[in-house]
Amino acid sequence: MLQFIRSKVTSIFVKILFVLLIASFAIWGIGDTIFGSPAGRAAVEVDGDVRVTAVEAAEEFDRSRRRLGIPVTVDQAIQIGLLDQTLQNLTVQSLMVVATNRLGLSASDDQIVQLIHQQFRDSLGQFDRTAYQTFLASNGWTESEFVSRARRDLARNQLLGAVATGSAKTVPDSIVKTLHDYREERRIAAAVRIDAATLPAPDAPDEATLSAYYEENKQDYETPEYRGISWIAVSPQSLAESMEIPEDELRTLFEERRESFNTRGSRTVDQALFPDEAEARTAFERIQAGEDFAAVAEEITGMTAAELDFGEVSRGDLPEGTADAVFAVTEPGTVTEPVESPFGWHLFRIRGAEVSAPATFADVRDELRREIALERAYDEVFERSNALEDALAGGSTLEEAAQSLNIPLNQIPFVARDGSQPAGGIVATLPGEPFLKTAFETETGRQSVLTETRAGTYFILRVDGVEPPRIPELGQIRPRVIADWTTEQRLEQAEDIADAIVSAVSDGTPLSEAAAEHGLEVERLPAITRRGQALPSGWPPAVAGALFEQKAGGASAVSSDQGAAVISLVDVIEGGGDMAAPQDQVRRELAGAVSNDLIELLLADLETRHEVTVNPGAVRQLFTVSEGLQ
């Protein structure tokens, strides 16, 4: 390409063109200086110190727009408030940056490395650089940009964690109990179910009735837009399946990484933390004498059973100086002697133990082969996708490119936006998203650009044809319309029967007698909560709501798309009785609400303390300028 340009520079016409181009760049540069470019303006600024440029805000807005999962233009996204929401989020982030900077909160390099290694692991628990780089590429970030974001987020979490800590202790026990009892109240009902499908079918509708029903509901029969698509896809998974890895190479790699394959020992433990050795020793002696570990720990330290649970840990997860004592024990139920760490004195109760064991080559051979093959397949995917892109750029059709590169050409005549076909069912052989999104954004007869799915598959597609949405004529779907009309008639019958039973009960007829008149029996439902817990399958979900609005002896009718039901309150179990769930969940929810309130107060305080400037016009102008240059 460079040689081609050099050869053409000798042409006087091209020389003139280059002069014009250079002049245009100079004018643009001067224009930015004289008239002001929207790109350099601040979209969000706090105290003049922390600023988000219009370009950065536009990039964040565009990422949010694409994450919607449906095709939305820039103008549409602005109209639905996405730009305002993006700027609001960036304002909150900027305020948090100011607050963390003022308090000197930061994240160390070690914390960043640990975060990245935890988020991007392969099946063997090793750092997966390919996954990491794919994640960066999909978000349009450089590594330094991602690290900067991660450092900012970790510092923010330190601040938010400090604000929210202890919120559970601010929730009064009386409020927890009141809300818990309200939620856990259970009610028992006598009920009659009318299944519409078991009712006699009505006579077939005449033509006038059917036509009227069709006209009233014709929008329900509209077909989706279907598209015919041809595509070429190159996936690392498919390449890896056929890739051969020499046995000696697998053995060499196994020897290099043998230690990482060994089963690491772990312990599942409860931990009680004491301020000094005397209290820890007293607790240990009481436990050795037969008292319960959790009861003793709660009495001395105030830690609840949930707070004592330290979970499954490896040596590296334990506080400094405690690992040897914990891993010296393998018998479940054993409590360690008091052991000191920088945090205080610990007692550990071992609930489970997994002893480390060496791995053999046979144990991990297949996993190693898949890992190496997939790693090499990613390199080959890049090579093949570049070759594909070059072939198409050179004028080849999809068919010609597929043949020359020995890549299968895939075709499907009709597929909807959700992957369904006219005959029913979902197409399972399509590449992952954003394949269908791309297909429905590409014009008929055009090819898409080379696009990568979330799973690392590259594809290029062509839209061969479009069948727009349409409403079929009655004659084309007559059996379906008749079936729908029949179902509606049966549902109305079920509702009429339910209303008749309720009316009879209101007049003093026992529920069992009123139901028997229609050939129905009364069932006794189990105790049900307000949220419908314990409601047997097949009963309308609205039963729970109606039941909790009733007084004893009354009756109510509820409907569903399966029929109708009549319910009558029999008994109320206050607070759920023996079946009540623990109050801990309610306390956690209330504590979470308190935490959210505290965080909102923090943000409100930051807004009053700092000067915040938001300029959505700079972002809108940037998109306007970009569209004007296209």
The answer to whether residues 231 and 268 belong to one domain is no
Which amino acid does the sequence have at 434?
Answer: P
CA-CA-CA-CA dihedral for 521, 522, 524, 530, to nearest 10? 120
285 pLDDT band, cuts 50/70/90, is very high
Q: What's the total number of domains in the chain?
A: 4
H/E run at residue 350? strand 344-354
- Between these two residues, 518 and 103, which has the higher pLDDT value? 518
Of 66-70, 104-108, 155-159, 162-166, minimum mean pLDDT range? 162-166
Q: Per the domain annotation, does 439 fall within a domain?
A: yes
H/E run at residue 515? helix 511-516
The CATH number of residue 394's host domain is 3.10.50
Q: What is the mean pLDDT of the chain?
A: 81
The answer to whether residues 372 and 455 belong to one domain is yes
The answer to whether residues 350 and 393 belong to one domain is no
Of 257-266, 279-288, 333-342, 599-608, minimum mean pLDDT range? 257-266
The answer to whether residues 326 and 385 belong to one domain is no
C-alpha to C-alpha distance for 187 and 189, rounded to whole angstroms: 7
**What's the mean pLDDT in 466-481?**
93
25 pLDDT band, cuts 50/70/90, is very low
C-alpha to C-alpha distance for 440 and 445, rounded to whole angstroms: 12
Q: Per the domain annotation, does 158 fall within a domain?
A: no
Positive or negative, the CA dihedral 468, 472, 477, 480 is: positive
pLDDT tens digit string along 46-59? 887 788 888 888 88
The answer to whether residues 282 and 190 belong to one domain is no
Q: Are 388 and 401 in contact (CB under 8 A)?
A: yes
C-alpha to C-alpha distance for 492 and 483, rounded to whole angstroms: 14
Q: Per the domain annotation, does 174 fall within a domain?
A: no
What residues have CB less than 8 Å from 384, skipping those under 6 apart? Answer: 234, 405, 407, 458
The answer to whether residues 376 and 449 belong to one domain is yes
pLDDT score of 161? 74
Positive or negative, the CA dihedral 249, 255, 256, 258 is: positive
The answer to whether residues 342 and 429 belong to one domain is no
In the predicted model, is pLDDT for residue 12 greater than 60? no
Q: Of 14-23, 35-44, 272-281, 473-482, which has the strongest mean pLDDT?
A: 473-482
The answer to whether residues 527 and 458 belong to one domain is no
13 pLDDT band, cuts 50/70/90, is very low
The answer to whether residues 216 and 230 belong to one domain is no
pLDDT score of 20? 36
In the predicted model, is pLDDT for residue 7 greater than 50? no
pLDDT tens digit string along 339-383? 998 888 999 999 988 776 677 777 777 777 777 777 777 777 777
pLDDT score of 28? 37
The answer to whether residues 387 and 321 belong to one domain is no
What does DSSP say about strands 409-415 and 226-234: parallel, antiparallel, or unpaired? antiparallel
Q: Per the domain annotation, does 332 fall within a domain?
A: yes
The answer to whether residues 460 and 482 belong to one domain is no
Give the residue from 103, 204, 193, 115 showing the smallest Cα distance to 156: 103
Q: Per the domain annotation, does 128 fall within a domain?
A: no
pLDDT score of 11? 42
Last-in-domain residue among 563, 579, 595: 579
In the predicted model, is pLDDT for residue 622 greater than 70? yes
State what percent of residues in the chain have pLDDT above 90: 25
The residue segments making up the domain with residue 278 are 263-354
Q: Per the domain annotation, does 86 fall within a domain?
A: no
The answer to whether residues 302 and 279 belong to one domain is yes
DSSP letters, 27-50, are HHHHHIIIII-GGGSEEEEETTTE
- Between these two residues, 68 and 206, which has the higher pLDDT value? 206
Q: Per the domain annotation, does 602 fall within a domain?
A: no
In the predicted model, is pLDDT for residue 17 greater than 70? no
- Between these two residues, 41 and 356, which has the higher pLDDT value? 41
Q: Per the domain annotation, does 252 fall within a domain?
A: no
pLDDT score of 515? 93
